[in-house]
Amino acid sequence: MIASSEMPETKKSQGFLYEMNKHKILYLMCAPGLIVLILFCYVPFAGVWMAFTDFNVVDGIFGSKFVWFDNFKYFFSKNSMGWRVTYNTLVINFWGIILGIIVPITIAVLLNEIRGKAFKKLTQSMMFFPYFISWVVVGAIIYGIFSSDVGVANGILGWFGMEPIRWYSEPKYWKEIIILANVWKWSGYSSIIYLAAMSNFDGSLYEAAKVDGANKLQQIFRLTIPMLKPTVIVLTLLSVGRIFYGDFGMIYGIVGNNPVLGDEVTIIDTYVYQSMRTLGFSYSTAIGLLQSVMGLILITLANGVAKKVNDGEGLF
């Protein structure tokens, strides 16, 4: 359509260098951010090689002996903590996901029923507070509740005439404590996301439901919750995709390096950190890689599912 003499011109205008030159300011603006990503996310990929070697400092990453999958084999062997820490990670994350749906949605739905503005504002800022503090501070608070001599929990047990429990030497309670602490910390924040979704719902639907004689419970279960479903699905799939990743800060902030509780609360992330010192760089790298690969598979699957149920809207 265009005169033939102009053809090369248009071709040239679509070239890489032409685009770079035309929008050089925009690309330059991306540069600092991308450099940080390259330095801290992409360069370390080279080190993944260590997972397949028996790393020693003298020979360096690429000079050390290549041992194929030996490091991975050890993770699943009987004398390693592999299965144990995988189980811990999955259990803690599983309950974290379930309660992380139920509690924030309950809060959001009930907050929506409350008309008193001042009450709403006050309680919402109280519930938001845990989001603002670090896991170390949460750890201090948990110590205040569960320490054997002065803790609140033993005080309450005392009222009921029960024997005090030495919580910090009883591993069996700590999965629950960590799961609840996690829910406690995030619920206020997550409920805001659901409240935001709810503020977008069509008010006339509720009016119509009222005219039809639906009571509040029916409105909640027939309107609010079904309309929240897409948001819930996306957020849940996102956390399912990350089920092999644990929160290092949460575990270390709450139980620190307490050796007695280790069996119950060591997750893959803290295990990697601990094995770095005792079992060496290669082995820890292998576990980290295993975790990343599982994560990649799961998040890709989750994304596919999200696209199916949400009309092509995926996680990314």
Partner 1 sequence: MHRNGWLNDRFVTGFAYLFIALFAMMCLYPLLLTVSVSFSSEQAITKNGYSIIPQEFSLDTYRYIFANSGGRILRSYGVTIFVTIAGTLGALLLTSMVAYALSIKKLRYRNIIAFICNFTIIFSAGLIPWYIVNVNYYGLKNSVLALIVPSLFNVWNMFLLRTYFAHISPSLYEAAEVDGANHFTIYWKVALPLSKTALLTVGLMYALQYWNDWWHALIFINDRDLFPLQYFLYNILSNVNAISSGRIPSGASGSITLPAETVKMAVTIITIGPILFLYPFVQKYFVQGIMTGAVKE
By CB under 8 A, tell whether 304 contacts partner 1. no
Residue 66 φ/ψ, nearest 5 degrees: -85, 125
For residue 161, the minimal CB distance to partner 1 (Å) is 16
Residue 267, interface with partner 1 (CB under 8 A)?
A: no
d(CA 53, CA 35): 29
Q: Is 264 in the site for partner 1 (CB under 8 A)?
A: no
How far apart are the C-alpha atoms of 14 and 56, rounded to whole Å? 49
- Residue 201 interacting with partner 1 (CB under 8 A): no
**At a CB cut-off of 8 Å and minimum separation 6, what does 184 contact?**
130
Instruction: Return the structure tokens found at 170.
Output: 């009883």
Point out which span in 2-10, 78-86, 90-98, 280-288 binds partner 1 (CB under 8 A).
280-288
Contacting range for partner 1; rule: CB under 8 A; set: 79-87, 115-123, 201-209, 222-230:
115-123
Site residues for partner 1, 13-32, by CB under 8 A, read: 19, 23, 25-27, 29-30, 32
For residue 213, the minimal CB distance to partner 1 (Å) is 7
* Residues 142-171 within binding reach of partner 1 (CB under 8 A): 143-145, 147-152, 154-155, 166, 168-169
CA angle 277/280/286 to nearest 5° reads 120
Residue with Cβ nearer partner 1 (4 or 30): 30
Shortest distance, CB of residue 149 to partner 1, whole angstroms?
Answer: 7
Quick one: how far is CA 14 from the chain centroid?
A: 41
Q: Does 239 bind partner 1 (CB under 8 A)?
A: no
CB within 8 A of 107, min separation 6: which ones?
Answer: 127, 187, 188, 191, 194
The verdict on 114 binding partner 1 (CB under 8 A) reads: yes
Work out the angle at residue 192's Cα, subtended by the Cα atoms of residues 188 and 195, and round it to the nearest 5 degrees.
130
Residue 246 touching partner 1 (CB under 8 A) = no
Of the residues 70, 74, 94, 123, which one makes contact with partner 1 according to CB under 8 A: 123
**Which of 92, 178, 255, 267 touches partner 1 (CB under 8 A)?**
255
3 state SS of 1:
coil
Select from 73-81, 91-99, 103-111, 201-209 the region that touches partner 1 (CB under 8 A): 103-111
* Residue placing its CB nearer to partner 1 in the complex, 92 or 269: 269
As measured in angstroms, the least distance from the Cβ of 90 to partner 1 is 18
Report the residue from 56, 300, 307, 308 that binds partner 1 according to the rule CB under 8 A: 300
How far apart CA 280 and CA 55 sit, in angstroms, is 8
284 is an interface residue for partner 1 by CB under 8 A: yes
Q: Is 256 left (phi over 0), alpha (psi -120 to 50) or beta?
A: left
Burial (CB count <10 Å: 0-12, 13-18, 19+), residue 129: exposed
Query: Is 126 a residue that touches partner 1 (CB under 8 A)?
Result: yes
Instruction: Find the binding residues for partner 1 in span 54-93 (CB under 8 A).
Output: 61
Q: Residue 307 CB: number of other CB atoms within 10 A?
A: 13
CB 46 within 8 A of CB 38: no
Nearer to partner 1, 3 or 211 (CB): 211
Contact status, residue 262 vs residue 275, Cβ threshold 8 Å: no
Residue 102 lies near partner 1 (rule: CB under 8 A): no
